[in-house]
Every structure is written in C-alpha cells, then in structure tokens.
Amino acid sequence: MSLGFTSVDVLSCDCSSLPQVLIHHGLFPTAPSQPCIAVSLDLLSFYQTLFKRSCDAINAHVSALKMYYSRQGFQMTDKKVRSINAPLDTNDVFL
C-alpha cells in the first residue's frame, strides 16, 4: 500500500540553493537549509483552500478523520464507549 510518498533526486548548482530548486519544481522544503523532505505546493494550496472554505475547520477535520479511520477499520465511540453512527458531536468523540 502506497502512502503517497515519492522519492525524487534533485540536482542543484551553486547558482541556486536547494530550497530555491525545490520551490521551482513545485515543492516546499521542510527546512530552510539542507531539507530532506518537501511538500507539494499543490497539496499546501488545497489545504489552504479547504481551511478558508470550511465553515468550521474543526468539524471538517473531525469528519475527515472519522471517514479515514472508518475506512481503516477503526470504530468511533463516545465517552461511554458507545458506537457512534450518527452525525458527529465533536465534544463527545475520542479516537
């Protein structure tokens, strides 16, 4: 099962720093110098749009987590360890 990670060899020269080369190729470095991991600018843009468009960012994240973990076979329960099948109340949910 792929987690969506891709390994890419990046060549740079003295005329541009590694972070500049990564950004030129659509990747955001996770460190200002000597980055070993980078995140897609498209993914960051999507996340920013999701965050701006969500009426309630917390509910959007909890809903996405519930769907993700449900697909992985986990079951959501409330404080009394009862199965949750109804719409989420974020005050009562524990993963």
pLDDT, one tens digit per residue, over 26-55 is: 999 999 888 888 999 999 998 888 877 766
Coarse DSSP helix, strand, coil percentages of the chain, rounded to the nearest 5 percent: 35, 10, 55
Q: Do the domain assignments include residue 64?
A: yes
pTM of the model: 0.49
Give the residue from 32, 37, 57 showing the smallest Cα distance to 47.
57
* Confidence band for 95, pLDDT divided at 50, 70 and 90: very low
Question: Does one domain contain both 59 and 94?
Answer: yes
| Domain boundaries, position 66 | 55-95
Domain total in the chain: 2
- Comparing 66 with 4, the larger pLDDT belongs to 66
Question: Does one domain contain both 61 and 45?
Answer: no
| DSSP string across 32-55 | SSS-S-EEEHHHHHHHHHHHHH-S
